[in-house]
Amino acid sequence: MTDKIVIITGATSGIGYATARFFGEKGSTVVLAARSKDRLLKIEDDFRQKGIKVLTVPTDVRKENDCKNLIDKTVDRFGRIDILINNAGISMRAVFGEMLLEVFDTVMQTNFWGTVYCTKFALPYLLKSKGTVTGVSSLAGFQGLPGRTAYSASKFAMHGFLETLRMEYRSKGLRVFIIAPGFTSTNIRKVALTALGKPQMVSPRVEGKMMTAEQVARKIYFGIKNNRRFVVLTPTGKAVFFLRKFSPRLMDRLTLYFMSREPESPFEG
């Protein structure tokens, strides 16, 4: 993995930042994409002081031209792309019937279309390098979560897109890796959108009991290195994955009960 050119979206916090740092410390050259130019510059300075080879490109993955610019800037600087990690994401928490459609659109644009745009423009270079496209998904990508309709829809869509891509380009050496962390201690729940599109600011979960972003970053690194196809993290995540296959009705009831226990939940378990 040394000297690989690795693009990571949503790289200024949480899983994205931890993954960028882990890859950089292992000798990869990391290209960091996020909306905040100021935070990107601070991280770039910190990484350079640590001896990490880095390029930062302000990018809003909801915008097709921004994603094209990200790929163009990477290729202009380094001449190739080895790994694309589609990590940028946003969540939401609201009952579908009470939610503005603009919220649904924002989540889909970020989580799904951001993956599509970046992958589309990176694909020719990934084919040349026989590289890896990665999607950072969620348990919500294979089990619908009440109160997270847009989030689940975006992750289900990501799964379908990447799994089909794997088959289409199997003979050309493209590798596709999907990782589904369980609940991870990041900022995603605090900035999750409410029914009216405002950040909820307070996490409904006990963050200290969750998997850390650093643990997820390590799993992403070794998943790509070992050419894995799909990895589900945490014992809960693995239980959900298998129980959904063999007893989907029970899994639905358990999921609703679990989500109904969140503070101020609109559901009854």
Instruction: Kindly give the pairing relationship between strand 230-232 and strand 175-180.
Output: parallel
Is 151 marked active-site? yes
| Residues 5 and 83: beta-carbon distance below 8 Å | yes
Spatial distance between the Cα atoms of 1 and 240, rounded to a whole number of angstroms: 32
| Residues 173 and 131: beta-carbon distance below 8 Å | no
- Within a 10 A sphere around the Cβ of 121, how many other Cβ atoms? 21
C-alpha Rg value of the chain to the nearest Å: 18
Q: Which of 17, 117, 151, 221 is catalytic?
A: 151
Spatial distance between the Cα atoms of 130 and 35, rounded to a whole number of angstroms: 29
- Scan for tokens 């790929």, then name that residue: 71
Residues whose CB falls within 8 Å of the CB of residue 65, separated by 6 or more in sequence, listed in order: none
Cite the active site residues: 151
